Amino acid sequence: MLRGGKMSTRISSAERQIRDLCRFLEYDEAAVYRRGLQILKKYNQIRQADSLVNHSDTEEDYQEQSELRTAAAALRECFFVSDSEGDASFWKNAHVLMDRKWMLDLTDRAIIYVQTNRIDHQDYYQLIRYKFLDQLSEIDICEFMGLQRTAMYMRRREAVTMFGIGFLKALDDFLRYPQKATG
């Protein structure tokens, strides 16, 4: 805290780099975080209900792709629509895509993006893994990572934003080169 009871507005080097990356890519940082968080939560639900997922995508699914491409394009647009306007459309398209092994692969690619693109030596992958894949408590995450709770929340926000950036990059790759992304 600063004098006069005001909270410090100082941002970390990692947070600044993520903001700069979002600006460079012309992504709304808050929207990328919000939608990235929603996708991670949905991904976690699907992993838990693994038997409900159609893991047998066929070559025919990839050949036709019109439904996937339409849903993927709409999902990308929904990343940047405000909550109240875009949630219904976002979830409709997320459900179409999440019912396919392809979407799980796309999400895995975004997680790999987080793992391979460390910023300022932050291990964002571990935060994603502990919170969304292993479902550890915040106390356990803080203990394993050696972070205070406030720092953990800030790093987790950065990690989810990095995931959102990775997801959008993977989605863009699919929209440009669907055979390459699914093959």
Does the pLDDT of residue 123 top 80, yes or no?
yes
Tens of pLDDT, residue by residue over 13-28, are 888 999 999 899 888 8
Does the pLDDT of residue 183 top 50, yes or no?
no
Give the pLDDT confidence score for residue 162 in this predicted structure.
94
Q: Where does residue 130 rank: exposed (0-12), middle (13-18), buried (19+ CB within 10 A)?
A: buried
Q: Which two tokens stand for residue 132?
A: 């969304």
Phi, psi dihedrals of residue 158, rounded to the nearest 5°: -65, -40
Q: Which two tokens stand for residue 115?
A: 């793992």
Does the pLDDT of residue 4 top 60, yes or no?
no
Does the pLDDT of residue 8 top 50, yes or no?
no
- Distance between CA atoms of 159 and 162, rounded to whole angstroms? 5
Tens of pLDDT, residue by residue over 158-175, are 999 999 999 999 988 888
Q: Which residues contact 89 (CB under 8 A, 6 or more apart)?
A: 74, 78, 81
Give the pLDDT confidence score for residue 9 in this predicted structure.
53
Tens of pLDDT, residue by residue over 43-92, are 887 777 764 444 455 555 554 567 777 777 877 887 777 666 667 777 77
Separation of CA 129 from chain center? 12
Does the pLDDT of residue 5 top 50, yes or no?
no
Are 127 and 159 within 8 A, CB to CB?
A: yes
Give the pLDDT confidence score for residue 60 in this predicted structure.
55
Q: What is the mean pLDDT of residues 91-107?
A: 74
Whole-model pTM?
Answer: 0.79
